Chain A
Amino acid sequence: EAGVAQSPRYKIIEKRQSVAFWCNPISGHATLYWYQQILGQGPKLLIQFQNNGVVDDSQLPKDRFSAERLKGVDSTLKIQPAKLEDSAVYLCASRIAGGNTGELFFGEGSRLTVL
């Protein structure tokens, strides 16, 4: 079974530029999460989708971050314009629909460096 796929693995941009990250969850997983993991910290939830609807985006900085999951499968997270403090690893995770434990499956992450 293929795991959660993310791209790109690494991205370096200047501040005020834009960047987009892509995630393809495990087939059949209805719930998709984007987390931000700053060096030395735990993952912080940015947004949670159930199929193509948003369940929680309370910690998404909506003035610069956006995310979509148009067909309920893959998802894109965009940052525009980027700030220095956005340097982090962006993790995508998915969860099987109907599972009662909440176990998440993670991709390898996309590491963003903002200069």
Chain B
Amino acid sequence: AQSVTQLDSQVPVFEEAPVELRCNYSSSVSVYLFWYVQYPNQGLQLLLKYLSGSTLVESINGFEAEFNKSQTSFHLRKPSVHISDTAEYFCAVRVTGFQKLVFGTGTRLLVSP
């Protein structure tokens, strides 16, 4: 079975500071990896995904994540955060060939002025 661990339930950071949200996964088979963002009282929006190829993937709003197979990690980073980045971030994995997503417990990013 697959599992996803997001150790940080909440990450407070000041505006324009860098941030890293950690995600580790466990799987005995190859997986696809995803980061979703959820704003208050809304559904989830896909932020970025790793399916294959380059291990560094980027989103259109400045986030990036790097797939590290040896460390089974897919940490999310942004060099300079904005107030509007305040949201809940979920890491998820999916076994290749299957459709079920397994989510982590989420990390709340709190950006203050």
Q: Decide whether A and B are members of one complex.
A: no
